[in-house]
Amino acid sequence: MPVDRELPTPEAEDLLALTREIADAELAPKAAAHEREERFPREVFRLLGDAGLVSLPFGEDVGGGGQPYEVYLQVVEELAARWASVALGVSVHTLSCFPIDRFGSEAQRRDLLPDMVGGQLLGAYCLSEAHAGSDPAAMRATARSDGEGWRASGEKAWVTHGGHADFYSTFLRTPDDGERAISCFHLTPDLAGLSAAPPEQKMGLTGSTTAAIRLDDVPVPADRLVGERGRGMGIALAALDSGRLGISAVAVGLAQSALDLAVGYAMEREAFGRPIAQHQGVSFLLADMAAAVESARATYLVAARRKDAGKPYSRQASIAKLVSTDAAMQVTTDAVQVLGGAGYTRDHPAERYMREAKVMQIFEGTNQIQRMVIGRSLTAASVPPAG
């Protein structure tokens, strides 16, 4: 049964209905095979772009859908309920468009953004490095001014869509701007010296390619700088706030699928003469799973509505990411338990859901980092101003 949602407009209701229709017809039937074969579904993103589902949170002036985050995230959740790798890809693509959308020059927004948000181009976000994941300020990859533009060198790690993306929102140290200065650049695969390493061999989300991006003295034109030079860390952190909401929606969609699977199985599987759903031990487990899913959904929607209202939402985004991804891990684990031995086999998707949930506690800032962000925001708010 569809999730009973509270949507702000009839247009939003139509968008969710369209999303479910496309996801049921084009995503759900393909997910298991692509994940098993570790095959990247590039054509699916073009399909979603053609349907207008990739451009939803961007302004109509650049070809976007002009929808609030509250609506966009629920679309992502519906996609994730059918295929988490694709929903993750939509979230990462949105994250990759964010720097130019929010900080790009008028020319960049005019010339680049319409094709970026339309879905025919696919984006990637290059912030982490092998030794600088939770601490991006420790990055070593650099871009040095050469008088006419920049020369980029180094390697970015854990890049979703690495090797498949049409553009890379990339953060590099710019020593000319100060020892700790970082700047943001719009890089494309046609630049000489930019290449992708072989894909990572992952535990889950295997339909989503993750690879390091290598920069071997890459010539970067001057007009590829996004925002002010030396101010890239602020751009990166602002982007991550919205990206964490995307991951929250993906996690909730995955958890909803696990709950639906567990309920369906528990209604059909009998033990001691009745469906196991009627045994208190299983019934209480399903109840806890449902409470976790609905609580997580409510948490990310609170943060999204704050963002839509123009209010600060960084702490709420971290809370949503923490709550949603922990819930997804617990719910998918419990789904395997409800299915028992069947849940441990590949005959059912429960084991895949469990593997996919784990990384959601890690990327876009580990949940330990989210706790640091939340804790620091609380103590900062309680410190009286100096003087």
User: Catalytic residues, which ones?
Assistant: 364
CB 150 within 8 A of CB 222: yes
Q: For the chain, what's the residue count?
A: 387
Query: Taking the CA of residue 93 as centre, how many other CA atoms within 13 Å lie in the half-sphere pointing to its CB?
Result: 32
Residue 165 exposed, middle or buried by CB count within 10 Å (0-12, 13-18, 19+): buried
**What is the number of other CB atoms lying within 10 angstroms of the CB of residue 318?**
27
Name the residue among 378, 364, 249, 359 with its Cα closest to residue 302: 249
Its sign, for the CA torsion 330, 336, 337, 339, is positive
**What is the number of other CB atoms lying within 10 angstroms of the CB of residue 56?**
23
The Cα–Cα gap between 2 and 4 comes to 6
